[in-house]
């Protein structure tokens, strides 16, 4: 048996080795056992207050329940054992709250069902968790806006199918990343009213136990907790929580894309960007020269984990009749882990991008690797008015083959072709074959992204 001081966690989310690589202390605290049990008690207390306001239970009883409930004094070992037997934690919690509250204990959990308390408690966790995610997205957008502005005109090779395609700017690339997170911020704002609603509906969702007071109590409970009032019972309508986790799938998917770009661009053969230097970070146990992109690797891993949970939440939407027989339990795994992984990935992204090392000289060097071939399109379009589009295509195609087989530059190959040199002087050829002269509207597109929404200075 392990001693009390020996690490016993079995997942990366709680591991003393990995927990701050895959998550953050703040998000773990929101979804900790203690915080969850506290939320259960908070909902029970709010329910008592709501019912007292509506004349369902005595006001004195509600006041006593609020005063005497003490989560820190609970017997957590007993709570665990009874939860294993019952299958749910609410009845075991109510047993102890009843004892704590004395005569008022008879009114604890009045007219509620287990899922009412658990669902509403989870929504309180979701509200706090989304507030952290929103802060992280806001900060990440600020960082990306700064990169986009700073590198608006920094030329580099744009790549399609992992081949050099046309020149772009690094700011153009980061502006695309920024636009994704602008949309994520919009999505988050839009989903909150749909998701942050309470659940109080009784055993089969009809509030039958409270007679004609049911909807009044439901509204009062939601008001006590600062939550929206549901338009219908959602015991088996799980689209709201599924939306949250699938939103995280989108967020971490974007982070995974950014991570993959950084990892490729940081490879030895590219050498265009690097994650911030921290002594020892990314070091290899056998290769002293290594500088592995650790934050990007963690972001990519998190995106894969959250994607699995997004699928699990979609599967958990398929529930039977008025109360589910198992899909609900799948949410207990998917929701906390998705929040922690998403927070962890955003934390790694903020670190990597806030201190990103951008090697503009290496970008320029890579832009010249193709000896002008990267702007073959520009040359073709420049020649077309003189010799016609199809002939321009054929001339440039032949010149590219010369460069690929015999060496030299595209400008040299074109200048050696009489059909070109007789119509266009060398200075024009050099201008057409200079990659920095064929950035298209990349800088203007950066400006459009930066100006698309209000931004803090």
pLDDT in tens, 253-277: 999 999 999 999 999 899 999 988 7
Q: Of 5, 72, 161, 232, which is the active-site residue?
A: 161
Residue 420 within any structural domain of the chain: yes
- Mean pLDDT across 215-235: 94
Residue 296 within any structural domain of the chain: yes
- Mean pLDDT across 246-255: 96
Q: What are the angstrom distances between the C-alpha of 245 and each of 123, 267, 310, 415, 446?
A: 13, 32, 5, 58, 30
pLDDT band at 283 (very low <50, low <70, confident <90, very high): very low
Residue 207 within any structural domain of the chain: no
pLDDT band at 421 (very low <50, low <70, confident <90, very high): confident
242, 250 Cβ separation under 8 angstroms: no
CATH code, domain carrying 33: 1.10.275.10
Same domain flag for 286 and 409: no
Same domain flag for 86 and 185: no
HSE-up of 243 (CA within 13 Å, CB side)? 17
Least Cα distance to 189 among 112, 133, 150, 147 occurs for 133
Q: Is the pLDDT of residue 281 over 60?
A: no
Q: Buried b / exposed e across 225-263, counting CB within 10 Å, b at 16+?
A: bebbebeebbbbebebbbbbbbbbbbbbbbbbbbbebbb
Same domain flag for 317 and 343: yes
Least Cα distance to 125 among 349, 332, 316 occurs for 332
- Mean pLDDT across 365-381: 84
Same domain flag for 92 and 118: no
CA distance 414 to 432: 11
Q: Of 5, 38, 235, 284, which is the active-site residue?
A: 284
Instruction: Specify the pLDDT at position 416.
Output: 85
Residue 66 within any structural domain of the chain: yes
Give this prediction's pTM. 0.90
pLDDT band at 285 (very low <50, low <70, confident <90, very high): very low
Q: Is the pLDDT of residue 407 over 60?
A: yes
Instruction: Specify the pLDDT at position 369.
Output: 86
Residue 85 within any structural domain of the chain: yes
- Mean pLDDT across 293-298: 91
Residue numbers of the domain that contains 72: 19-107
Q: Is the pLDDT of residue 387 over 80?
A: no
- Mean pLDDT across 114-123: 94
Q: Which of 221-225, 369-373, 421-425, 439-443 has the lowest mean pLDDT?
A: 421-425
Residue 161 bears catalytic tag: yes
Number of structural domains in the chain? 3
Instruction: Specify the pLDDT at position 126.
Output: 97
Residue 347 bears catalytic tag: no
Rank 78-87, 183-192, 324-333, 417-426 by mean pLDDT and report only the highest: 183-192
Residue 208 within any structural domain of the chain: no
* Residues near 412 by beta carbon (within 8 Å), at least 6 away in sequence: none
Same domain flag for 126 and 98: no
């Amino acid at each position: 048996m392990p001693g009390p001081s020996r690490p016993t966690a079995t997942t990366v989310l709680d591991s003393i080795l990995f927990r701050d690589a895959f998550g953050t202390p703040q998000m773990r605290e929101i979804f900790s056992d203690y915080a969850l049990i506290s939320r259960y008690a908070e909902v029970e207390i709010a329910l008592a207050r709501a019912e007292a306001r509506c004349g369902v239970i005595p006001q004195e009883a509600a006041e006593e329940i609020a005063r005497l409930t003490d989560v820190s004094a609970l017997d957590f070992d007993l709570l665990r054992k009874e939860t294993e037997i019952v299958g749910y934690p609410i009845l075991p919690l109510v047993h102890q709250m009843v004892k704590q509250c004395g005569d008022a204990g008879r009114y604890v959990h009045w007219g509620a069902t287990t899922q009412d308390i658990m669902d509403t408690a989870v929504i309180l966790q979701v509200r706090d968790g989304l507030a952290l995610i929103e802060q992280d997205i806001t900060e990440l957008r600020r960082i990306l806006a700064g990169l986009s502005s700073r590198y608006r005109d920094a030329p580099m090779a744009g790549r399609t199918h992992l081949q050099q395609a046309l020149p772009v700017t690094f700011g153009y690339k980061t502006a695309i990343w920024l636009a994704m997170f602008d949309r994520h911020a919009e999505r988050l704002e839009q989903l909150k009213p749909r998701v942050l609603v309470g659940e109080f509906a009784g055993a089969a969702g009809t509030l039958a136990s409270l007679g004609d007071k049911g909807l009044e109590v439901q509204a009062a409970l939601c008001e006590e907790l600062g939550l929206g009032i549901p338009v219908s019972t959602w015991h088996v309508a799980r689209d709201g929580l599924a939306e949250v986790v699938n939103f995280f799938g989108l967020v971490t998917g974007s982070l995974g894309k950014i991570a993959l770009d950084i990892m490729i661009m940081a490879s030895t053969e590219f050498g265009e960007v690097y994650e911030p230097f921290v002594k020892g970070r990314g070091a290899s146990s056998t290769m002293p020269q290594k500088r592995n992109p650790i934050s990007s690797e963690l972001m990519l891993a998190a995106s894969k984990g959250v994607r699995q949970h997004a699928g699990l939440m979609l599967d958990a939407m398929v529930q039977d009749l008025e109360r589910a027989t198992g899909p609900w339990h799948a949410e207990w795994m998917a929701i906390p882990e998705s929040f922690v992984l998403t927070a962890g990935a955003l934390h790694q992204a903020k670190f990597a991008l806030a201190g990103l090392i951008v090697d503009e000289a290496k970008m320029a060097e890579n832009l010249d690797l193709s000896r002008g071939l990267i702007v073959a399109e520009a040359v073709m379009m420049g020649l077309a008015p003189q010799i016609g589009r199809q002939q321009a295509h054929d001339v440039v195609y032949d010149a590219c083959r010369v460069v690929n087989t015999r060496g030299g530059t595209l400008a040299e190959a074109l200048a050696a072709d009489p059909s070109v040199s007789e119509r266009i002087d060398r200075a024009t050829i050099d201008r057409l074959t200079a990659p920095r002269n064929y950035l298209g509207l990349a800088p203007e597109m950066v400006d459009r992204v930066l100006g698309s929404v209000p931004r803090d200075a």
